[in-house]
Structure 1
């Protein structure tokens, strides 16, 4: 593993010194990442992996991505991951993963500064926020190093609750677009029926549903949902397109992640 040593001081002591942030450099580490993804997504989201191999989530894009990992060195265990696809590697891969779900032609002018992140997950015993903050620190370091301005990806919301969380996210997306006067810039190839989301807009269940922590975190740092969601039937999820413009990120987080 190529260790990333620029861990923010306020994160360096979280959960003790056994957590290490880095990029996978061996096939063994990549396979550990794939096993973690498989375990988390199947157990927590009921995902079906059509390309799974020996209990690992494997797809075409893995070979072109950098795999950001958090390792618990005491347990010798990968406990968190993101994968990152740069513009150059996206060309080699035949496009971004997101292009399998969304029409991205309106982002063509951003491609040279656009990286894609996805397949985020954390081990169930490490979901107190420390690991995801370390991963975000790693994403920021990666973007600074590669001089990338935009981070794009699909924020997945499980349908295991019959779509109430997804309906809540869609409500927020509409409010956000109305507040900032922004129009969607991507469109899904296979849209999730908006009428199903809007049919759940009222009632006790949606009021009791929790905003997914990952999407809540994205929006907190200044991300925006930039279109209607796609329906990923293999993953049993509603996927919202999310983009972060580093130059328009909340100033507190720009400083926190070293952009200022």
Structure 2
């Protein structure tokens, strides 16, 4: 299902199956439609402390896309690497599938509350035009970028950006509004808008730290994004974790925001 669905959006490995050496050591979260006996969606979770103990830093998938060492991981504390999010084609029209995936992630964090950070690559497929991809990159860099953490990460294959794009600082400043940004991208690229998963991470106050083009995934543009769950507003966290559990989690980490 991963390879089939990734190809639909201009990604994928080009192989018969999307499977790699990391799958066996990562946790896999599934949504199952009991009524129709079908797989709805899945997410891959890597428990960084466990992976480091077993394989060292080479055991992290994101390390194949971005160059970083232990100082970057130290900026996050106990973390989970996220990736390979997929929803079956017939369930993609409803947002409930993505919501259920994130409720599953939140339940995992609730059961393992020592984990405070989520991070991983979020893709902008090659189906997007070069102009749209650069506009997304420039906007994310201005409004949703962690310069401090970014000092610890570099991209082996950074995107080739135009030196003089067709927009100015005033336009980029206005595009802090996600709905406006989506409308602009939709005009550029036949109704595509901001990628759904990127919007999801940003709604949780996610911060980008680097961008890299992945030639092994049909030249998808990957942004390495970090979410500090302790900094997510309680109301937002409660949507996935439940009000009581969100309150307990934030209280455990001495954070509580409306």
What TM-score results when the alignment is normalised by the length of structure 2? 0.75
* Residue 71 of structure 2 is aligned to residue 96 of structure 1: no
Residue 248 of structure 1: which of 225, 231, 250 is its match?
Answer: 231
Match of residue 195 from structure 2: 212
CA 1:79–1:164: 2 relative to 1, 3 Å: farther
Query: Residue 117 of structure 1: CA displacement?
Result: 0.7
**Counterpart for residue 232 of structure 1:** 214
Contact 1:167 1:200 in 2 (8 A): no
Distance 2:49 2:148 in 1: 28
Q: 1:40 to 1:200 in 2, by over 3 A?
A: farther
**Could you tell me which of 8, 11, 25 is aligned with 1:43?**
8
> Residue by residue, what CA displacement relative to the aligned partner does 1:11-69 show, whole Å, maximum 9, x if unpaired?
xxxxxxxxxxxxxxxxxxxxxxxxx10110123224234xx4xx321101000011101
Of the three residues 160, 163, 167, the one matched with 1:193 is 160
> 57, 68, 73: which is aligned to 2:29?
68
2: distance between equivalents of 1:87 and 1:181? 22
Deviation of the 1:95 alpha carbon: 2.5
Deviation track 1:133-162 (CA, whole Å, cap 9, x = no partner) reads 111111112123222000001001101232
The alpha-carbon distance between structure 1 residues 165 and 69, as it changes in their structure 2 partners (threshold 3 A), is: farther
Question: Taking structure 1 as reference, are residues 46 and 107 closer, same or farther at Cα in structure 2, changes over 3 Å only?
Answer: closer
Q: Which residue of 2 aligns with 1:26?
A: none
* Separation in structure 1 between the aligned mates of residue 166 and residue 102 of structure 2, nearest angstrom: 32
8 Å CA contact 1:165–1:212 kept in 2: the answer is no
**Local SS of the residue matching 1:84:** strand
Pairwise CA RMSD: 2.6
Contact 2:72 / 2:149 at 8 angstroms: preserved in 1? no
Is the 1:177–1:183 Cα contact (8 Å) retained in structure 2?
A: no
CA contact (8 A) 1:87 1:111 kept: no
Alpha-carbon distance between aligned partners in 2 of 1:177 and 1:131, rounded to the nearest angstrom: 26
Tell me how many residue pairs correspond in the alignment. Answer: 218
Long gaps (5+) in structure 1: 1-35
3-state SS of paired residue (1:234): helix
- Is 1:142 paired with 2:108? yes
Structure with greater helix percent: 2
1:152, 1:242 within 8 Å by CA — same for their partners in 2?
Answer: yes
Q: CA separation in 2, counterparts of 1:80 and 1:200?
A: 38
User: In the alignment, is residue 132 of structure 1 matched against residue 98 of structure 2?
Assistant: yes
